[in-house]
Amino acid sequence: MNKTVFVVAVLLIAVTAWLLSVLNSTPNKESDSIVISKSHTLKRYNFTLPDLQGKPQSFSQWNDKVVVLNFWATWCPPCRREIPDFVDVYRQYQERNLVIIGVGTDNPKKIADFVKQFNIPYPILTGERKAMQLSYQYGNHTGALPYTIVFDKKGIIRYRAGGLMSRQKLLALVKPLL
């Protein structure tokens, strides 16, 4: 085997291992996430992204609700693991003014197939590159997926972080806000 090919293969394996460790990591320390106190005034801003039918949806339609904004992709293993818990929590608390909004960052056709397969009942928006730019504007400077933001009923950000979110953590974040 050629020495250059060997070096490239080793580098490719190392980068792949690192990427998989990042994608599969779960924040478990306070320093891994940003928790915003009740006195903080960082608020959500309005944006518009298309839904699965291509119809523009304004974020302002969910004013006065507790909103979980979750950026994800169909190819992302931690995203795939957390979505069933998001579905359960949404079904349990949607009548108490909780809305979970999934923002798919990859191909809209793949997103639509995934939503159908997993029977996701909450609103799904698409945006590919625009969605990732939006997550960046909300503090996702590393491009992590999944990336989740929790807003209270006044639109103030109470939590935002990249990485897998457990059902227990999601409930601990949203129940006090309902």
Q: Residue 28 is part of a domain; what is its CATH number?
A: 3.40.30.10
* Mean pLDDT, each 10-residue run in order, the chain (178 residues): 58 48 39 39 83 95 96 96 97 97 95 95 94 92 95 94 96 96
What's the pLDDT at 11? 52
| Tally of domains in the chain | 1
What's the pLDDT at 42? 72
Domain, as residue range, for 84:
3-177
What's the pLDDT at 45? 80
User: Three-state SS across the chain?
Assistant: CCHHHHHHHHHHHHHHHHHHHHHCCCCCCHHHCEECCCCCCCECCCCEEEECCCCEEEHHHHCCCEEEEEEECCCCHHHHHHHHHHHHHHHHHHHHCEEEEEEECCCHHHHHHHHHHHCCCCCEEECHHHHHHHHHHCCCCCCCCCEEEEECCCCEEEEEEECCCCHHHHHHHHHHHC
What's the pLDDT at 100? 98
What's the pLDDT at 44? 80
